[in-house]
Amino acid sequence: MNKAIIGKKLGMTQVFLNDGTMVPVTVIQAGPCTVTQVKTTERDGYDAVQLGFEEVADRKLNKPQLGHLKAANVKVKHLHEFKLEGSSLSVGQTVGCDVFAEGDYVDVTGVTKGHGFTGVIKRWNQHRLKETHGVGPVHREVGSMGPISSPSRVMPGKNLPGHYGVEQVTVLNLSVVKVDKERGVLLVKGAVPGAKNGIVYVRNAVKK
C-alpha cells in the first residue's frame, strides 16, 4: 500500500548502527496528520487522500477553510494531497509516523533555502573571468552573451543572475534509519531540502 505523511524538518544529527557505522540523518517530525478529504475516481476522476498537519486557532483560518475542515473536525495549517491508490483511509482518521518502518525507502519533497538575488557564479557554478589583460573591473560578471551580428539578442535559456533558491525539490530513495513513535519523528538517512522547521512531504519511494 502507498504511504505518505506531512512533516517538519527539525535538523540533522548522526546515529550509530548496530555494526558501528555512523550514519548522518535528518530528523523529521512526521505527523500526526488528519485525513481531511478522500477523493475517488467515481466522484473526482482520480484517487487521492488529503492530509492536514499542525493545528492552529480558528482565527487564523478563513470561512472557506473552516467549512472545508468541518467534516474532519480539525483546524490545521498545512494541507497536502497524495495520490494513494487503494488506500483504506477515511475522513477524520489520524496518520502517524508509524506508517513507515525501519528499512523503508522514501521520497522527501521540500522547498530549498532562499539565497535572494545572486550572480552566475553562485547560482550556476560558472567560472570567474580572467584577472589580466584588460578584463574587468568586475571579474564575476556573466561574460559573453553571444555574437553581436546574429542573432543580435540573448537566446532563451541562458544562465543569468537572478533569484536563487525557494524551489520545490524531491530527493529520491532515502532510507528510514529509525522510527520513534513516542516522539513522532522519523530519522531519514542523508539530507533533505529546506531549512529548519520547513514543511516536507514524505512518501514511499516511487522508483525503488
Complete DSSP assignment for the chain: ---EEEEEEEEEEEEE-TTS-EEEEEEEEE--EEEEEEE-HHHHSS-EEEEEEEE--GGGS-HHHHHHHTTTT--EEEEEEE--TT----TT-EE-GGGS-TT-EEEEEEEPPEEEEE-HHHHH-PPPPPSSTT--S-SSS----S-TTTT-SPPTT---SEEEE--EEEEEEEEEEEEETTTTEEEEES--SS-TT-EEEEEE-S--
Confidence of residue 169 (pLDDT cuts 50, 70, 90): very high
Confidence of residue 102 (pLDDT cuts 50, 70, 90): confident
pLDDT at 27 over 90: yes
**Predicted confidence (pLDDT) per residue in 124-166, tens digit:** 999 998 888 888 788 898 888 888 888 889 999 999 999 999 9
Output the pTM of the full model. Answer: 0.84
Query: Per the CATH hierarchy, to which homologous superfamily does domain 4-115+168-204 belong?
Result: Translation factors (2.40.30.10)
pLDDT at 1 over 70: no
| Residue-averaged pLDDT of the chain | 88
Q: Where are the domains of the chain?
A: 4-115+168-204, 117-165
* Mean pLDDT calculated for residue range 87-107: 85
The per-residue pLDDT for 14 is 92
